[in-house]
């Protein structure tokens, strides 16, 4: 999947608040991540999303980039694990 130049990388922790306005503006409340010194360091994040707003279609597109869930302990995954 090709990366678009109008994509925004969003790092979230459990308890973070993400608000997306109708015009595509983002408001993110990540108090713990704001303390991280380096924007490229997502190790403190619980999930990293890629966000893109397609104004012509009126669509907000979110894609999970880096999940942190460790499912290696499960041999088989079932719905709603």
- One pLDDT digit (tens) per residue for the chain, 81 residues: 445 568 998 888 878 889 999 888 999 886 665 555 455 556 667 888 899 999 899 899 999 887 766 655 556 666 665
Provide the residue range defining the domain that includes 12.
8-67
Give the C-alpha separation, 81 to 54, whole Å.
Answer: 32
Percent helix, strand, coil in the chain (nearest 5)?
Answer: 5, 35, 60
Residue 3 maps to a domain = no
Contact 51, 20 (CB under 8 A): yes
pLDDT of 72: 59
pLDDT of 61: 93
pLDDT of 31: 61
Residue 10's CB is within 10 A of a number of other CB atoms, namely 19
Q: How many domains does the chain have?
A: 1
Residue 28 maps to a domain = yes
pTM for the model stands at 0.62
pLDDT of 1: 43
């Amino acid at each position: 999947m090709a990366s678009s130049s109008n994509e925004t990388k969003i790092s979230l922790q459990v308890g973070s608040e993400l608000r997306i306005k109708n015009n595509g503006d983002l408001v993110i409340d990540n108090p713990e991540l704001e303390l991280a010194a380096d924007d490229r360091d997502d190790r403190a994040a619980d999930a990293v999303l890629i966000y893109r707003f397609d104004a012509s279609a009126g669509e907000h597109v979110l894609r999970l980039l880096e999940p942190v869930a460790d499912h290696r302990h499960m041999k088989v995954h079932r719905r709603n694990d």
